[in-house]
């Protein structure tokens, strides 16, 4: 079920964000970038990673809401 509303037209998908993250990592790992360009890519990568995490958190919340009686489960990243 894919809803298209004015709010979602410009919202990137998880898949597109993940692909962008892969491209950023590849460029940074390849090296040979001027410092200012490497820093700009790093900053973009941090923002892309945060956007990916937000989408994953939203998906997890939706799954929890759809699972009656399941209750919140601790994240695998939490100790």
Burial of 55 (0-12, 13-18, 19+ CB in 10 A): middle
- Whether 9 has a pLDDT exceeding 70, the answer reads no
pLDDT on residue 26: 97
Between residues 5 and 58, which one has the greater pLDDT? 58
pTM of the entire predicted model:
0.70
* Separation between Cα atoms, residue 79 and residue 72, nearest integer Å: 15
């Amino acid at each position: 079920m894919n809803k298209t509303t004015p709010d979602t037209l410009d919202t990137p998908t998880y898949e597109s964000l993940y692909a962008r993250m892969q491209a950023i990592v590849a460029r940074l790992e390849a090296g040979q970038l001027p410092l200012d360009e490497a820093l700009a890519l790093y900053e973009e990568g941090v923002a892309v990673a945060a956007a990916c995490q937000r989408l994953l958190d939203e998906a997890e919340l939706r799954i929890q809401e759809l699972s009656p009686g399941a209750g919140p489960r601790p994240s695998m990243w939490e100790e």
